[in-house]
């Protein structure tokens, strides 16, 4: 199968060898203490550098921004040095890599980071859990409910913005080709975007124009710090888990897209639901987004290569993100090209956490399979 997915693409000033994107996937493998990226992570990402571009797992910009155990950070010297192992390996394999900058907001617990969560409003996310590792016999994570958050004051909003900026600077120092601001999936920026989680009455709440303010301010500040050609943003207009259902979100997303177009960021990344009965994003929305945002658009969400090709051929997306297929198939583009058999998840217990290569770097390449 040789299709548009295999053609080179220039994203702003960055030349990509193909249109396969390895999507961000939390794996919880950072070294402790300190949430430091390590050589095992470098091996994992390097194995998957057949993708034209890799977006890393979500990476907290501060301890306050951490919501799950063993996720990596980008705010200490040790973390920056650890990430250099990863960028060196991916670049050695001739791919590109962006770091996803993350603050979880209310999706956290003091059992994870020792701090009360913060959010646009003091509203807990119903039915939402995070995980810790507390010595379960099989090594599994233990899921615990999130705690009620504290409503952010202006000083805390300023601190969060500064943390994203410093995280972006640290990422560039660590050798990344750029950064992705995580504004999706019910985390802090998404919490500000939605009317059900943001019930503020100041300049950051009320109207959709106000609710996009934090996203715009963070994005502009990061673009000013590292260059708009090195900044992407991830949004999830059709995802409502983590208690995020909002009837106004589509209009809000379009307002955000116009603002982001004005900043001139290099891409907009649509995170789409990846479960079987998930809502489909209608082509009409994609057309409206394309007419609103002129730079690269990325579509990610359990897509088949054929579905990705459909979007590419119609100009509704420029890059297609693949998650689980890259997790289990480090040589995923080659397998697609040859229509080869795919590896499947060997053990769900190793998806989140694990200190060895099992379920992480031990998925075989085609060349290593027994005949």
Q: Which residues are catalytic?
A: 187
Residue 340 phi/psi, 5° resolution? -90, 160
What is the rounded radius of gyration, in angstroms, for the C-alpha atoms of the chain?
19
CB 113 within 8 A of CB 134: no
DSSP conformational letter for 120: S
Residue 261 to residues 11, 291, 292, Cα–Cα distance (Å): 15, 11, 7
DSSP codes joined into one string, 296-334: EEEEESS--HHHHHHHHHTTS-SEEEESHHHHH-TTHHH
Q: How many CB atoms lie within 10 A of CB 306?
A: 11
User: 361: which 2 tokens?
Assistant: 């770097």
Residue 36 phi/psi, 5° resolution? -100, 125
Element containing residue 58 per DSSP (H, E): strand 53-60
Q: Distance between CA atoms of 75 and 170, rounded to whole angstroms?
A: 7
Residue 249 to residues 75, 235, 238, Cα–Cα distance (Å): 31, 11, 8
- Pick the closest to residue 235 from 206, 202, 211 (CA basis): 211
């Amino acid at each position: 199968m040789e299709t548009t997915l295999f053609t080179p693409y220039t994203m702003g000033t960055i030349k990509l060898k193909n249109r396969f994107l390895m999507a961000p996937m939390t794996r919880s493998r950072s070294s402790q203490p300190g949430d430091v990226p390590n050589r095992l992570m470098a091996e994992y990402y390097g194995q998957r550098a057949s993708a034209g571009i890799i977006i890393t797992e979500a990476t907290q910009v501060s301890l306050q921004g951490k919501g799950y155990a063993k996720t990596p950070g980008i705010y200490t010297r040790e973390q920056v040095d650890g990430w250099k192992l990863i960028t060196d390996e991916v670049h050695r394999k001739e791919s590109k890599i962006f770091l996803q900058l993350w603050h979880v907001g209310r999706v956290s617990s003091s059992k994870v980071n020792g701090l009360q969560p913060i959010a646009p409003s003091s509203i807990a996310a119903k039915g939402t859990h995070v995980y810790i590792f507390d010595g379960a016999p099989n090594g599994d994570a233990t899921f615990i409910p999130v705690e009620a958050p504290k409503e952010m004051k202006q000083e805390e909003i300023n601190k969060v913005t500064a943390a994203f900026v410093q995280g972006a600077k640290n990422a560039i120092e660590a050798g990344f080709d750029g950064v992705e601001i995580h504004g999706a999936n019910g985390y802090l920026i998404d919490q500000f975007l939605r009317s059900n989680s943001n019930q503020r009455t100041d300049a950051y709440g009320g109207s959709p124009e106000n609710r996009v303010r934090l996203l715009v301010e963070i994005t502009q500040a990061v673009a000013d710090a590292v260059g708009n050609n090195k900044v992407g943003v991830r949004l999830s207009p059709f995802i409502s888990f983590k208690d995020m259902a909002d009837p106004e979100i589509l209009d809000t997303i379009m307002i955000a897209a116009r603002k982001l177009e004005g900043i001139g960021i290099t891409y907009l990344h649509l995170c789409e639901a990846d479960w079987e009965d998930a809502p489909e994003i209608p082509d009409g929305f994609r057309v409206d987004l394309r007419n609103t945002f002129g730079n690269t658009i990325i579509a990610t969400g359990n897509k088949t290569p054929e579905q990705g090709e459909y979007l590419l051929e119609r100009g509704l997306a420029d890059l297609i993100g693949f998650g689980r297929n890259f997790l289990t198939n480090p040589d995923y583009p080659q397998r697609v090209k040859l229509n080869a058999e795919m590896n499947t998840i060997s053990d769900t217990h190793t998806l989140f956490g694990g200190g060895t290569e099992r379920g992480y770097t031990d998925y075989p390449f085609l060349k290593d399979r027994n005949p």
